[in-house]
Structure 1
Amino acid sequence: MSYEQFAYLYDELMQDAPYEEWVNFVKEKSQKYQVDGKDLLDLACGTGELSVRFAKEGFSVSGVDLSADMLAVAQAKAQEQGLPIPFFEQDMASLEGHEEFDIIGIFCDSLNYLKSDADVIQTFASVYNHLKDEGIFFFDVHSTYKISEVFTKQTFADAEDQISYIWNSFPGELPNSVEHELSFFVLDEQTEKYDRFDELHYQRTYPIQQYSDWLDDAGFELLEVCADFETKEPQPNSERIFFIARKKPSL
């Protein structure tokens, strides 16, 4: 199975993801922090599911992802719904050729796929350079608790008629990192046999204070840290941490 086929498979596997909660979160917090414009950059946009939803809510959306196959799915999805969303194949740590945006978001724990401190630091700098003064940066990450207690040394599985999977998670070599070994079994309706497709994914996170320090170093004012789509402060067992930061004007 090609990665392009996996890109279509991704939407099937993620159909229960709380996309509307991400959209509502951004809308509510943008209003709270008085963001005037609606130019939004969806970094690591994948198959464009959030990009499309933001566009339907009146945002002027652009999408960036490193995977050409994911972007092909995103472009087809936007065209099918008549949405003029431009998509670009770029690394979020080295954006170039874009106008400045009112809002930049890295959603669905995509930041956790960066492998080093330097990658995160460079991404924050890249986001800063592409935000308007006073622009807002949203991102969410897995908590250290989720990486170490929920994922590590766990096996997840699901068996459906069309798609089944086995997902094993192992500790990564670096602190607060995890390796996911995924095997998918997808029904080929012509042969009535299942094709197997294997994927290896690596994720790494950091303590909240580390992200806060990097944001400060990059020139951001940290406005809010919350967890699990709620307004309360993160708890020891919170799984998804949300950061909202404002670009300080350069001197």
Structure 2
Amino acid sequence: MASFVKTNSSDKKSLLDLAGGSGRLACLLAKNGYQVSLLDISSQMLSIAEEHADEQNLKINFYQDDMTDFFLNESFQTITCFADSINYLPDKVSVKKTFARVFDHLAAKGKFLFDIVTSHQINVGYRNFMYNNDDDPEKIFVWSSFPGEEKNSVDHDLKFFIYDKKLDAFRLYREVHHQISYPIEFYQRTLLEAGFKNIKISADFGRSKVKTNTDRVFFIAEK
């Protein structure tokens, strides 16, 4: 991973992307002048992210850690956590821990931006959901979703069929992802308990108000 570089918390461009995955957002932000750090629990995803950064000659700091219990010796003006990563946290306690860690790593007046998929999306949008990507005959992706055991939860069954020339056959790689959503009021209350203020919510990437059938909610909270 890239070596640690101290970020000046007074710089309005300092940003930490939590659960940054393959680094596509981090690279986009770095291209736009942000001093970006990326944190993810997966070493495989961090390796991919670092490759993307190297290919584009971008300077990004990478950290492997759990967003519910991370400690970096620096603060940031902005912390992001998108692609409904908060929904992957297993329970309410984990959400509370994450918000507390984010608050501790923000500079004064810093902002936390994140999104969640709503219970409407989980119960309606993902009902009988199936997606197939077979554009590449050697890499086939099948995504199916099923109701989870907990209220307002869903299990995503992801299957990857990768053609192996040596075997002249497809290898199956499978992942099951679990997501859960809580009422919007829970996230608002938990942000307040962590010390945040000026909490704003919106839909459609900030372009519209949240409704009962909104599938994704965007949050902005200030320290």
Pairwise same-fold verdict (TM > 0.5): yes
Deviation at 1:50, TM superposition (A): 0.7
Cα distance in structure 2, aligned partners of 1:52 and 1:101: 17
Deviation at 1:230, TM superposition (A): 3.7
2:129 aligned partner: 154
SS across alignment from 2:12: coil
1:188 counterpart letter in structure 2: D
1:237 aligned partner: 213
Q: Superposition pairs for residues 101-250 of structure 1, below 5 Å?
A: 101-160=76-135, 161-189=137-165, 192-247=168-223
Contact 1:112 1:205 (C-alpha < 8 Å) held by counterparts: yes
**Identity score, percent:** 39
Cα distance in structure 2, aligned partners of 1:56 and 1:100: 21
Deviation at 1:124, TM superposition (A): 0.2
1:91 aligned onto 2:74: no
Cα distance in structure 2, aligned partners of 1:193 and 1:230: 46
Contact 2:188 2:199 (C-alpha < 8 Å) held by counterparts: no
1:44 aligned onto 2:19: yes
Contact 1:144 1:206 (C-alpha < 8 Å) held by counterparts: yes
User: For structure 2, which runs of at least 5 residues remain unmatched after alignment?
Assistant: 1-9
Cα distance in structure 2, aligned partners of 1:56 and 1:96: 26
Deviation at 1:141, TM superposition (A): 0.7
The total of aligned residue pairs comes to 213
TM-score w.r.t. length of structure 1? 0.80
2:6 aligned partner: none
Contact 1:215 1:222 (C-alpha < 8 Å) held by counterparts: no
User: For structure 1, which runs of at least 5 residues remain unmatched after alignment?
Assistant: 1-34
Cα distance in structure 1, aligned partners of 2:12 and 2:95: 26
Contact 2:72 2:105 (C-alpha < 8 Å) held by counterparts: no
CA RMSD in angstroms, aligned pairs only? 1.6
Of 154-163 and 167-176, the range deviating more from structure 2: 154-163
SS across alignment from 2:21: coil
Of 163-172 and 233-242, the range deviating more from structure 2: 163-172
1:77 aligned partner: 52
